[in-house]
Structure 1
Amino acid sequence: MLVRWVAVFASAAIAIAAPDITLFEDLLSALTVMQDAYFANWIGSWPEGNDWTRAVTGTYVAGALKTISQDMESVRNYTTTQLWPSYENILSRHFEELIGYYFGQDAFGIRNEAYDDMLWVVLGWLETIQYIDQQSEESGSIKEWHGRRWVPAFAHRARVFWELASRGWDQKYCGGGMIWNPRLLPYKNAITNELFIAASISMYHYFPGDDNPSPWNQAVEFDRDNRGKWPPRDPKFWNAAQTGYKWLQSSGMMNNEGLYTDGFHISGISEGSDNTKCDKRDDMLYTYNQGVILTGQLGLFKTTGDLKYLEDGHKLVRDVIKATGWDLRRQQPVDDLSKLKPGQLPPWQGLGRGGILEEACDISGECSQDGQTFKGIWMHHFTAFCEPKSLDVLSPRTIEHLGHYNARKARASHYGKCERYVPWLRHNAKAAMGTRDSHGKYGMWWTVGLINITMPNLVFDAPGILPPDLGKDDYRNRGVPMNNRTWVGIIMPNSTTEEEETRLSLFRGQGHRPQRFIYDRYDGDTRALKSRDGLSDETTRSDPNSRGRGRTGETQGGALALLRALWTLSKYGRVDT
């Protein structure tokens, strides 16, 4: 059984102001709409998702349930008795859906995918275990709640996929780091390494152990009395996280604005060069590359007491917020949105505009399924980093390293910095809510929900509106080109050599396809685009969020993660920490 760390600090005091019940209801509604519209009980999955976006969606559901379970008592005092039974029903219903997803998840198929795909699975089931722990505590006894029966199954899957993914750690190229996809030329990218750090330290914190040796590994012998037992708090997870973080920080992955670029190629490798250095950086920026590492930084601080992890995390958050065009000192956008002309957008700032988090692909309306998932991932890991109880429980090693006084000081400083981010979150939530349609479905491009722009009057050609050099290396939305030596080591997709055909056949099976990319094709035409939501042609042409893939399970999940972040952090304004 997992030996739990003892809480060395009291939790935040009793609320001194009423919670925002409307926000709580919006959170519940976003969750319910996502499951009603996109989850299919009969297959236990989100059928329009892909393997990794489904794993992320399951993580959102578990995180939302954890928050709802934690806050039900405080909300109870401000709601009618008629509403209260519905909250408990929501918890039971959506937890049952997570159980269904355990069986609906293509666990066999994901084993043959990229290493980042495997690590999303690890984080998802560890998040579900955290919810089970939370609900067990709220139920009054950690042994009584029926959901605990599923912990061994979820822990086993997390353990198996962590071990499978850890094979991606490579010392030959770049002096270390995780390879993204074993079917491509070596590419060391931010997300796979951040996931490895976050998943490893989360395994150290939340993995309760596993005594299930399946699937059998012929290279390992199991004795009859100890058939493949994996203990909790295994130092190998902590060591892996530290090693991964040290490599990432020294890799040169971060740009001059303090943001993580996407990754590194190794030049000349397709021509047979013996170069092993990461020397060809892909400078494309995605929001999720700035988010996953926050879970790793928090976990490493809680384990070691090294303040550098918290400092790095807060600097990254501040740099992200700055790159959306938000002034944290004045708590408002750097641009005066009231002075915008009809159809005008504020200028692009790096990861957004007008103080709103944005993907570079948002303005085109052609974000891929991957791209539609990114902002929600950022919000989920930001919530983990900044939630009000994030530093209430620390390891004995951390207390010994810092001492009780400095540990309390670090905790207070962390919470104070997190509270500063709430106005920016509220600004983003207001924008996202403006994208809801009549069915409660949220759009991808939050910015237009705040500025209230329709397609016919949207101005694309003003200076500074479009992100610079869009599409150059945006493989997450364009797809990896199969005729590119940088990625697959071939010149043409019709190559007849046996080696190149073998590589292409494996690659084609991974679902990576070139996608049409039109950032440089705007000429004022709103384009005739089909709607995924059965909207009229007129609505489709006028609503920027009905373009491309339209409103999807991924865009709904992003809004859910945003609303959860705001609800969770808004408690800083209601309690005495």
Structure 2
Amino acid sequence: MVLSLVCVLAVASAARGLSDLQECPIFFSAAKRCDPIAPKSFLPADVAAVQGSKGSHSPDLGVLVDVLDAMHVMQTAYFAPWLGTWPDAIDWTAAVMGTHVSGATRSLSEALIHINPDRKSTVDWKLKSNLIERYFTQVTAYYFGQDAFAIRNEAYDDILWVVLGWLETIQLVNVHTDLHFGVNVEQDVAEPQANTVQGIADFFSNQTYHGNTWIPAFSHRARIFWDLAEHGWDTKLCGGGMIWNPRLLPYKNAITNELFIAASISMYLYFPGDENASPFYQDSSTDRPNLDAQGGPRHAKYLKAAVEGYRWLANSNMTDRQGLYTDGFHISGYADAGNNNTKCDQRDNVVLSYNQGVLLTGLRGLWEATGALSYLSDGHRLIQNVIKASGYDLISGTAIDDISTLRPGQLPRWHGLGRAGVMEDPCDASGTCSQDGQTFKGIFFHHLTAFCAPLAAPAPESGTKVDARAFAAASDSHSQACSSYSAWLQHNARAALGTRDRDGKFGQWWTAGLLSASWAGPWPTMADDGVPHETSGTDYRNYGVPNRPPWRAAPSEKGNTKAQHPIEAPAARAHSRARAPMGELKRKRQVGVDGANARDPNARGRGRTVETQGGGLALLRAYWKIAHAP
């Protein structure tokens, strides 16, 4: 059962104020009812004028080497095979790390076609295939190392990272299978062999990639966790949207809603179905699994959830004057028993990089499902807003501020999400990032990579027709726009590579990679980093829930007004505190003495971690795929 594309587009258009401008999809499944208008460009006119007619790639395998080195360091320095996880990570950041490894391994698999076109080079192929298998088996080990039972009882965003992670791994398996196992080994038919020998040959030639064995397991976990997250969708407050955490005061934030959009459309596009009815989903009348209710490939409920999720988010007033997504909304007076306000009217204005990223996967998926150009336009507009807010000018292809003119010890100007053309989160320069904050930038670049993949028309067997002229124009414009981001990616990659220590570990504050050689004086703190912290709002910093509004607990039925904590027994809370040093509160070993730390701004705070390494990996992969991959 699949939603009519016409119905979906009508819902999306009306939701986004486009009812008077009926959008015509490039894809259609019935008789053509309108004529799609081919886009001239997804870039502003002044930027498009200097970009030429179409973007181009200049393959540089040195960039791929940097990607592989970043992943090698991440998996040798931080991954514990005997545990099947990254022990220093916490539940949600580990899910993101698994996603980074799956994505980078998929990119490596795609690159093998161009690196080694001669499949008869047996030794070379074995060595390269072995590298793929090394990382795939580590991701598979993480399937068992992931604390799935604990995450089920965490916030809805924690749950949704799991969905995206295993759908990414399913894509890895599918791509690797299609690229390297799609053609059977050639048979010598001129000289028939004995039946036994021929049987052995048939057995080997009819194999597919062994990773397909694990797709049912990955699919099952993705489906279970999407079903759990679906309960977070709420229409009683704020007219819709996902609640962040069911055990805390209502907070409808950007990341949970973006994750729900991205996970829902990814389930629609990549979920192959799930015949495993455990643990709770059975039809009590027959005592048999209700597989139709569980969904399957291209199931309407996933597309509907994604369309409705974006409709709410686009109309939520979640973006600031720079066109960037702020963190989220509380409901004023909610804890007051005499207050009946249900509107999202108390906005947390902090701008974080990952809130600009996850939505890109959602928008790209909505385009693939509907052929509606507005989703691509919205995505490119968001990316361009991010680049501008980092202090980078797409027209000139350079940073807005010339750092060579700065006085000794002077920081470049803060532009909203970075400085000197390099992306930063508000905690980077001061070295105060929590474990959450150290993960954010890598998330943005992972989803930028997904959004900027070349456009592909629906497969002929899908029965979906395509307006060829409009599709070609959209594909060219998308390619040109994504290619225009290459210089910015190169600029950020150069800065990030400059933060690596002698072990190849990336730091959190990438801008330091441009400044450290000429910097004089102490490194900045929150008091002098140029970030307007005082106007950001009530940012949740991953160190517990503050006992102050608007995080304070709502009165319970018995009138208990104590600060609300996740629902667990006191003994469990004590156990959680005892385990905390393995995760969010653990500090990396100090690098050298105080003098060494003074020379290395990325040794401050939590220092270099698996999360900062994941960020470097995701950035380099984006640079490779968007600017260099053939």
TM-score (norm 2): 0.80
CA contact (8 A) 1:454 1:544 kept: no
1:101 and 1:462 map into 2 onto residues whose CA distance is 37
User: Residue 246 and residue 20 in structure 1: after superposition, are their counterparts in 2 closer, same or farther (change >3 A)?
Assistant: same
For 1:44, give the aligned amino acid: G
Residue matched to 1:169: 233
CA contact (8 A) 1:302 1:398 kept: no
- CA shift, 1:434, in A, is 0.1
Q: Deviations over 1:192-211 (max 9, x none)?
A: 00000000000000000111
Q: Which one of the candidate residues 84, 92, 95 is aligned to 1:44?
A: 84
Q: Which one of the candidate residues 295, 298, 313 is aligned to 1:248?
A: 313
Q: Within the alignment, does 1:555 sit opposite 2:612 as a pair?
A: yes
Q: Within the alignment, does 1:487 sit opposite 2:557 as a pair?
A: no
Q: Which one of the candidate residues 168, 172, 186 is aligned to 1:131?
A: 172
TM-score (norm 1): 0.87
Residue matched to 2:626: 569
Q: Within the alignment, does 1:257 sit opposite 2:322 as a pair?
A: yes
- The residue correspondences of 1:8-23 to structure 2 (distance < 5 A) are 19-23=59-63
Residue matched to 1:61: 101
2:73 and 2:105 map into 1 onto residues whose CA distance is 14
For 2:616, give the aligned amino acid: A
Residue matched to 1:532: 589
Residue matched to 1:5: none
For 2:107, give the aligned amino acid: T
For 2:63, give the aligned amino acid: L
- CA shift, 1:337, in A, is 1.7
Residue matched to 1:121: 162
Q: Deviations over 1:332-391 (max 9, x none)?
A: 00011221233222110000000000010011101000000000000000000002x3x1
Partner SS, residue 185 of structure 1: coil
Q: Within the alignment, does 1:445 sit opposite 2:513 as a pair?
A: no
User: Residue 144 and residue 549 in structure 1: after superposition, are their counterparts in 2 closer, same or farther (change >3 A)?
Assistant: same
C-alpha RMSD of matched pairs (Å): 3.2
Residue matched to 2:111: 71
- The residue correspondences of 1:307-456 to structure 2 (distance < 5 A) are 307-387=373-453, 389=454, 391-394=455-458, 403-452=467-516
Residue matched to 1:214: 278
2:332 and 2:597 map into 1 onto residues whose CA distance is 44
CA contact (8 A) 1:343 1:453 kept: no
Q: Which one of the candidate residues 492, 496, 506 is aligned to 2:567?
A: 506
2:522 and 2:60 map into 1 onto residues whose CA distance is 34
CA contact (8 A) 2:248 2:566 kept: no
Partner SS, residue 212 of structure 2: helix
User: Residue 90 and residue 343 in structure 1: after superposition, are their counterparts in 2 closer, same or farther (change >3 A)?
Assistant: farther
- CA shift, 1:537, in A, is 3.2
User: Residue 64 and residue 459 in structure 1: after superposition, are their counterparts in 2 closer, same or farther (change >3 A)?
Assistant: closer
For 2:592, give the aligned amino acid: L
Give the count of matched residue pairs: 540
User: Residue 454 and residue 152 in structure 1: after superposition, are their counterparts in 2 closer, same or farther (change >3 A)?
Assistant: farther
Q: Which one of the candidate residues 537, 540, 543 is aligned to 2:600?
A: 543
Consecutive unaligned residues of structure 1, counting only runs of 5 or more, are 3-7, 9-14, 516-528
1:459 and 1:424 map into 2 onto residues whose CA distance is 25
2:587 and 2:544 map into 1 onto residues whose CA distance is 25
> Which one has more relative contact order, counting CA pairs under 8 Å at least 6 apart?
2
1:216 and 1:481 map into 2 onto residues whose CA distance is 31
User: Residue 479 and residue 455 in structure 1: after superposition, are their counterparts in 2 closer, same or farther (change >3 A)?
Assistant: farther
Residue matched to 1:12: none
CA contact (8 A) 2:84 2:138 kept: yes
- CA shift, 1:268, in A, is 0.5
- CA shift, 1:465, in A, is 4.4
1:114 and 1:16 map into 2 onto residues whose CA distance is 42
For 1:251, give the aligned amino acid: S
Q: Which one of the candidate residues 209, 228, 242 is aligned to 1:178?
A: 242
- CA shift, 1:89, in A, is 2.0
- CA shift, 1:63, in A, is 0.1
- CA shift, 1:475, in A, is 3.0
For 1:437, give the aligned amino acid: D
User: Residue 358 and residue 161 in structure 1: after superposition, are their counterparts in 2 closer, same or farther (change >3 A)?
Assistant: same
State which drifts further: 209-218 or 409-418: 209-218
Residue matched to 2:332: 267
1:535 and 1:86 map into 2 onto residues whose CA distance is 38
CA contact (8 A) 1:304 1:395 kept: no
For 1:57, give the aligned amino acid: M
- CA shift, 1:483, in A, is 1.0
Partner SS, residue 271 of structure 1: coil
CA contact (8 A) 1:116 1:192 kept: yes
Residue matched to 2:30: none
CA contact (8 A) 2:113 2:179 kept: no
Q: Within the alignment, does 1:468 sit opposite 2:532 as a pair?
A: yes
CA contact (8 A) 1:60 1:560 kept: yes
Residue matched to 1:277: 343
For 1:552, give the aligned amino acid: T
Q: Deviations over 1:273-315 (max 9, x none)?
A: 1110011111011000000000000110111111111110000
Partner SS, residue 329 of structure 1: coil
For 2:370, give the aligned amino acid: T
Q: Deviations over 1:114-146 (max 9, x none)?
A: 000000000000000000001111222286110
2:403 and 2:58 map into 1 onto residues whose CA distance is 31
State which drifts further: 448-457 or 545-554: 448-457
- CA shift, 1:404, in A, is 1.4
Consecutive unaligned residues of structure 2, counting only runs of 5 or more, are 3-26, 28-54, 184-206, 581-585
Q: Deviations over 1:471-512 (max 9, x none)?
A: 853534364543113113379xxx9x8734593363895979
CA contact (8 A) 2:435 2:542 kept: no
1:538 and 1:82 map into 2 onto residues whose CA distance is 49
Q: Within the alignment, does 1:89 sit opposite 2:89 as a pair?
A: no
Partner SS, residue 427 of structure 1: helix
User: Residue 449 and residue 145 in structure 1: after superposition, are their counterparts in 2 closer, same or farther (change >3 A)?
Assistant: same
For 1:341, give the aligned amino acid: R
Q: Deviations over 1:531-571 (max 9, x none)?
A: 52543332122200000100000000000000000000113
Q: Deviations over 1:388-436 (max 9, x none)?
A: x3x1233789996861110111111111100000000000000000001
For 1:139, give the aligned amino acid: H
For 1:61, give the aligned amino acid: V
User: Residue 250 and residue 98 in structure 1: after superposition, are their counterparts in 2 closer, same or farther (change >3 A)?
Assistant: same
CA contact (8 A) 1:201 1:241 kept: yes
CA contact (8 A) 1:122 1:162 kept: yes
User: Residue 536 and residue 486 in structure 1: after superposition, are their counterparts in 2 closer, same or farther (change >3 A)?
Assistant: same
State which drifts further: 434-443 or 533-542: 533-542
Percent of aligned pairs with the same amino acid:
49
Q: Deviations over 1:206-264 (max 9, x none)?
A: 00011100012467655548666632110110000000000000111011110001100
Residue matched to 1:106: 147
For 1:177, give the aligned amino acid: G
Partner SS, residue 298 of structure 1: helix
User: Residue 412 and residue 541 in structure 1: after superposition, are their counterparts in 2 closer, same or farther (change >3 A)?
Assistant: same
1:224 and 1:311 map into 2 onto residues whose CA distance is 45
1:397 and 1:298 map into 2 onto residues whose CA distance is 21
Q: Deviations over 1:69-115 (max 9, x none)?
A: 0011212379x998765432221111111111000101100000000
Q: Within the alignment, does 1:203 sit opposite 2:267 as a pair?
A: yes
User: Residue 181 and residue 326 in structure 1: after superposition, are their counterparts in 2 closer, same or farther (change >3 A)?
Assistant: same
2:388 and 2:180 map into 1 onto residues whose CA distance is 42
CA contact (8 A) 2:391 2:415 kept: yes
